[in-house]
Structure formats: C-alpha cells, structure tokens
Amino acid sequence: MTTKKHGCPFAIGTGGEIHQQAKGQDDTLTTQQGAPVADDQNSLRAGARGPTLLEDQVMREKIFHFDHERIPERVVHARGVGAHGYFENYECLAELTGADLFQRPGEQTPVFARFSTVLGNKGSADVPRDVRGFAVKFYTQQGNWDLVGNNIPVFFIQDAMKFPDLVHAAKQEPDRGFPQAQSAHDNLWDFVTLMPESMHMMMWAMSDRTIPRSLRFMEGFGVHSFRFVNKSGESKFVKFHWKPKLGMQSVVWNEALKINGADPDFHRRDLWGAIQSGDFPEWELGVQVFDDAFAEQFEFDILDPTKLIPEEQVPIKPIGKMVLNRTVENFFAETEQVAFCTQNMVPGIDQSNDPLLQGRNFSYLDTQTKRLGGPNFTHIPINAPKCPMWNFQQDGHMAMHNPVGRANYEPNSWGDEGGPRENPETGFHSYPEQIQGEKQRVRSETFSDHYSQGRQFYISQTRTEQEHMADAFVFELSKVEREDIRVRMVAHLLNMDKDLARTVATGLGIKDLPPAAEAAMPTREDLPASDKLSILKNGPDSIKGRRIGVLTTDGVDAKLFAGLKKAVEAEGATLVVVAPAIGGVKASDGTHIPANEKVDGGPSVLFDAVVLMPSADKVKVLATHSPARDFVNDAFAHCKFIGYSTEAMPLFESTGLEDQMDDGCIPINAVKDVAGFLKKCKQLRFWERQSAVDKL
C-alpha cells in the first residue's frame, strides 16, 4: 500500500528500494502491486446486501497483510485465558436446526472457552477499559463449531474492509510503540470520529461493560446474525447470547486502575481459583430466533453488525448451559495454540451475508495458518475434532496425519480402499438463499442509521451508569492531544443525547458546543429504553461467587470471626483474610487464623465487600499504617459495603471518614449482625454514596 511519512507518500521501486514522493504528486492509495484503489471503505459484494465475493483482491490483500503482521502472538486478543468444560443441551431443537448437538436433551458436548482483551499484548494487564473476547469451541459429533464473539453485542465497523484500520488505530501508535492496552489516545479517537458507524459501539465501550469485575460475571454475544437450518431445509435467523449464571458485575474506573497495579492477573487468577475450588463458572446459551418477515420489518438491518435486536422485541430462549470445570494443563499448548475460526460450522448452522462476518471467515483461517505455522493446526490436540476426521488433505508444515494407502485424490476407483466419499444426506448444505445484484462496492442504505441505537443504549442505563459513561468519555478524550478530535466526538454525542454531550464538553473545557455531526439519517427518538441493556437493572441479588475481604489483627473476636466466615461460605461466597503479616493472626481464644493476604498486598479493590474486624489493642497500629487506611478509603470511594466492629472506629477516624459513614457502613458487633450485613451486600454496591464521594 502507498503510505505517508511526515505528510509525504512513499512507494516501493522496482528494485525494492523506497522512493519518497514529493508533496503535490499523486497520493492515490494503491495495492501492494501498485494498482490504484477506488474504494477503501467497502468490500466487493453481489448487491448492496449480498455476500462478499471471493474475487475481491483489494480486501483479500489488505486483510492478508494485516493477518501476517505479527508472529507468534495474536494480532488482537493476545491477552487471554482459557478453560475446559461442557455444554449441556436443554431440549430437542429439531424444528429449528439440524445441528446434532441440539437434538438430545441432557447431552453434554465438550467445549473449550477462551476469554481475552482485544488491544493489549500478551504481557498486558487484565482490567483495562477494553472489549473482551468470548470464544467457545464446541467439539460436536459432526465436527467443531466455533462461536467466536465478544462481551458486547455490536461492533465498531460494518465492513471487514475496515478491520485493519480499526485495529491499527486502536493499538500502539506506530512511531512510539504506546499506549499499551489503552484506547485513550489520538489515533483511536481520530478514527472513530471519522467513522459514524462506530458511535453505537463507542457508547458500549465507555460503559461499565468494558471493565468487568470478573470473566464469570459478563455476558457473551455472537454479534452477527446467523442461520439455523433444520433437516427439511427450512431456515430462520438466529443471534447467540451467553448469560452468566452469577449475574453481571463491573468495577469502577478508579478501581480498575488500582486492580491493574495490585494484580495484573486479576481476571485469570479469578477464573483459575473458581474452577480449582469447585465453584465452576456457568453461562446459559440463549438464542434470539426470527424469520425473514421480522427481518424485513425490523427498524434496522439485521445484517448490520453495529446493531442489536432488543430482547423486548425478540425474547431470548435459553437452550443450554456451559459449565467450565477444568483448567488447562499447559497454558501454551492449549490457551495459546487454540485456533478459533468463524467459518467452523456444523450442519444446521449457517452464515448470513453480514459483511463483517464474511470478512472474518477469510481472516481467521488465514491468521491461524500463519500464527501456528501452516495449514495443519487442526492436528494440534486442542484444535482437533473429537469425532472421526477423514479426508485427502496431505503434507504441509507439521503434518501429523496423512492419508494412508494409494489414493490421495477423489474421485478414485479404488473401491473400499479408496478413502472417504462425500455424503449428500449428512453433509453440510448451505442455505439456498437467492442472491441477485450488481457486482459493486457499496454500503447498503439500510446500514445508514448510526446514532439511534446509541441513544437507546444510553437512555436504558441507570443514572449511575450514565454518570460512569460521561466520566469515561471525559477521561479518554482528555488523553487526546488534538482539540479538533475532542470537539468532533462531542459533535457526534449531540446526535445521541444532548445532556451527555454537554456534560462531556464541560468536562473537557469546551466552552462552545459545536454543531451536531452531519447524520446520514436522523436519530430516532421513538425507540424505548431496553432494561436488559443495563447491568445495574439486572443485578443478581446474591453474593454467590463473590469475595469478602476481612481486615483483622491479633486478638480478633474468635466467635465473631467464625460466625462471619460460616455465614459468608453459606452464601456461596469466599472470605479472604487480610492481616498485617502474611503469617496470620492469633484470635481471642488463642487459635491461629491463617492470612490469605498481607494488607499492603491485598487492597480492598480485590474484594466485592469488606469487613473491618481488628482488636481494640491493635487497631491503633492499623490506624497509623497507610495501606490499612487506603484499604478503608478505597472501599468507601468505590461504593462498597463496609462491615465494621466497634473496635474499628479508630481506623475510620484515621481516614477522616467518620462523619461520612452512611447506610452502606454496617456495624457488626455480634454474630446476629452478620446476616443483615450480607443481605445488604447482595446489592453489590451502595451506589447512593456516589454523589457524596464525588464531592470529597
């Protein structure tokens, strides 16, 4: 491709030398072969809503080069963690799909799931503000099915042609190699503010969805519209959703920053610890199923990956559950070498003409081939199907299983020794959708509404979540050096919510609001709020799977501590002991209580709620210890529930918070008080404190 350096394009000469062109000369974008590019925004397809064509040499070359930029680390989703488990089917879905794994109620299909951040390299931290990958490989009896999605149901772009540009803009800036695992920089915001189609996704990206408390507490989405096809050849569209059994939960931004410093492996440690302790993470797989008639009358194009279908319009039907019950034995062999490809489908599940999905089908196979050394990555155990596999593909780098005998081609006349044959009855059949249209690079006009669902997402949030979004926009854009980019984003926000735009503009010091960004289609204000889009409106009302940190000292009331521990564990939560020394403490009855964390290595950001339970003799020492004061200050600032004994008051006083204590601070002076504390903790956060915290 022709590119620019300090404003001047350079080109590769016939001898491989680089010729820098002078300003004013032709700066037309070209392919690697020097052919001028007429359209760098849209892939070539058959009709405005038709499938992408294999002959699109511009898109294939662009994505091919992008896929091969880095080895062996993944270009995106490099920072990941995986686990084994199973998918259990709830009922027979034969009327909807011929997919074998959905035919027999109660049947368990082995799976491997990998969760990841998008932007960071392998050595980055777990809790940046970022989209999380949510990929599941089903080892079915008819081959591997890869459901490769994210924890957000929409995406930044509509056409795979723009994926290299998106990732280039979001990753480290090429001249300086930073920022690492962050979206708060000029290139990313320059790109998205020039791509209005990204606006819906940016609303999600600035929400608490991108700073999940745990991988176990986040949703997953297939993003695209796919097809279910039954054995009679009848088809309906389907969208896939993963719902965590423990409910959704996120952290706050200040907390995320401190978690990354205290424990960069926070999410992978949490997943590992849960499985090792037998608290197996679970998600329900649900589907939104709809026919062509619904697709025709829906307000937006169901092939547009920047749009979702609200659950109020098409309810989600639970069809099974995934349980992760086994950690990997070797991180590299399994988590690093697992290769997901969106094209990996089984009979009964089929593609749609979503232009982003069509490009992913090309990109993933190409990427995995390069990253894992050749075409035989399916021979690696983590990628190999668990059903019989038999074909004539041979040789290549690291071939482990070659055809045996004389025949390595088809058709052949070697009879029973001639190898496998095609099977029209059980083989994969693509849905025979009629396609008609001119061969052209074009974006369907039905993809043109870039703001309406962004507005719908915003009005669906609670006031607390809206405040977090505004704070996120201000934080991110404050890191952007160019004022025009900051102003440009405010102009887009004006098309979604004027109050949000004003709040962000004020936070950025923009005195005069710009005109609203030019919109291809006016924002619809008739779309109602969708409560399912909010985290806080869908709380779990449980502390199961959560961690309660208790800060204690020698002389702690043995009976009270034992009562707290018993009650916490009865709720399915974990009590973590934080002490002045890792050796633990001696309780009032002389028994030894082992410590899980030393106070300066176990800050309150690592816990969902905290209890302050020192002895009267030792609390004054804690009150002079900065990490202990930070433990209290952070828990209060992050709106966590704080249980405390009377003996802890000097510690509160040392922080200056004694006059700020509210209903989220609960006295625990007897075992009978524990139940009331834990009942309040089921709300997960005391958000009523937020306004007071903002004034501190």
Instruction: Name the domain count of the chain.
Output: 2
Phi-psi region of 591 (alpha: psi -120 to 50; beta: other; left: phi over 0): beta
Instruction: Please tell me the predicted confidence (pLDDT) of residue 391.
Output: 84
Domain-embedded: residue 317: yes
| Cα–Cα distance measured from residue 111 to residue 578, given in angstroms and rounded to the nearest whole number | 36
Cis peptide before 179 (omega within 30 of 0): yes
Instruction: Please tell me the predicted confidence (pLDDT) of residue 598.
Output: 97
From residue 170, how far is each of 38, 120, 223, 382, 451 by CA, in Å? 25, 10, 20, 30, 21
Q: List 241's β-bridge partners, or say none.
A: 221, 286
Domain-embedded: residue 569: yes
Q: pLDDT digits over 251-274, tens only?
A: 999 999 999 999 999 999 999 999
Could you please report the per-residue DSSP string of 76-107? Answer: SS-SEEEEEEEEEE-S--TTT---GGGSSTT-
- What is the C-alpha end-to-end distance of the chain, expressed in Å? 53
Mean of pLDDT values over 483-504: 98
Q: pLDDT digits over 145-195, tens only?
A: 999 999 999 999 999 999 999 999 999 999 999 999 999 999 999 999 999
C-alpha of 372 from chain center? 24
Check: CB of residue 357 under 8 Å from CB of residue 342: yes
Instruction: Please tell me the predicted confidence (pLDDT) of residue 23.
Output: 46
Q: Is the dihedral of CA 337, 120, 367, 141 positive or negative?
A: positive
From residue 591, how far is each of 337, 554, 648 by CA, in Å? 48, 10, 21
pLDDT confidence bin for 630, thresholds 50/70/90 = very high
Check: CB of residue 608 under 8 Å from CB of residue 681: yes
Other Cβ atoms within 10 Å of 686 Cβ, number: 21
Q: pLDDT digits over 369-409, tens only?
A: 889 988 888 889 999 999 888 888 888 888 888 888 888 88
Amino acid at 297: Q
Of 329, 361, 379, the one marking the end of a domain is 379
Percent residues over pLDDT 90 in the chain: 79
CATH code, 565: 3.40.50.880
177-180-183 Cα angle (round to 5): 110
pLDDT confidence bin for 71, thresholds 50/70/90 = low
Domain-embedded: residue 387: no
Judge whether residue 41 has pLDDT over 60: yes
- Catalytic residue numbers, as ranges: 77, 150
Q: pLDDT digits over 221-257, tens only?
A: 999 999 999 999 999 999 999 999 999 999 999 999 9
Q: pLDDT digits over 457-480, tens only?
A: 999 999 999 999 999 999 999 999
| Average pLDDT score over the chain | 93
Domain-embedded: residue 479: no
Domain-embedded: residue 532: no
CATH code, 240: 2.40.180.10
- Residue-number span of the structural domain to which 551 is assigned: 541-695
Domain-embedded: residue 432: no
Alpha-carbon dihedral angle through residues 220, 493, 156, 438, given to the nearest 10 degrees: 130
The pTM score is 0.91
Instruction: Please tell me the predicted confidence (pLDDT) of residue 402.
Output: 85
Of 358, 379, 400, the one marking the end of a domain is 379
Judge whether residue 326 has pLDDT over 50: yes
Please indicate whether residue 425 or residue 1 has the higher confidence score (pLDDT).
Answer: 425
- Would you state the structure tokens that stand for residue 402, as one six-digit string? 């070659």
Of 379, 414, 440, the one marking the end of a domain is 379
| Cα–Cα distance measured from residue 135 to residue 137, given in angstroms and rounded to the nearest whole number | 7
Q: List 665's β-bridge partners, or say none.
A: 642
| Cα–Cα distance measured from residue 130 to residue 151, given in angstroms and rounded to the nearest whole number | 10
Mean of pLDDT values over 106-122: 97
Domain-embedded: residue 497: no
